[in-house]
């Protein structure tokens, strides 16, 4: 799952995508700056619209959906 998220974040041009969380929430990623993944990929931080951050364990991500541009 982490590699898929990294491909979405690295896509050029960037296209928004949605992360589905195991508790039923969906998190919209509208900018590559909206998510930060730790180097080992166990956690990520999601930037909320209210300018706060939420830390999420990647084991809780149940899916990723949205357009994906080819990475060159």
pLDDT tens-digit map of 47-70 = 888 888 889 898 899 999 887 544
Examine residue 29 and state whether it is found in any structural domain, yes or no: yes
Tens-digit pLDDT profile for residues 16-40:
999 999 999 998 898 888 888 888 8
Examine residue 71 and state whether it is found in any structural domain, yes or no: no
Examine residue 12 and state whether it is found in any structural domain, yes or no: yes
How far, in Å, are 10, 11, 42 from residue 36 at the CA level? Answer: 12, 15, 11
pLDDT of amino acid 23? 93
pLDDT of amino acid 71? 44
pLDDT of amino acid 72? 40
Instruction: Record the pTM.
Output: 0.79
CATH number at residue 9: 2.30.30.100
Examine residue 72 and state whether it is found in any structural domain, yes or no: no
Provide the domain count of the chain: 1
pLDDT of amino acid 41? 80
Examine residue 52 and state whether it is found in any structural domain, yes or no: yes
């Amino acid at each position: 799952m982490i590699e898929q998220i990294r491909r979405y974040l690295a896509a050029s041009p960037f296209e928004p995508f949605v992360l589905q969380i195991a508790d039923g929430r969906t998190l919209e990623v509208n900018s590559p700056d909206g998510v930060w993944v730790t180097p080992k990929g166990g956690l990520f931080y999601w930037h909320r619209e209210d300018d706060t951050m939420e830390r999420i364990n990647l084991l809780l991500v149940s899916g990723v959906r949205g357009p994906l541009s080819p990475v060159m």
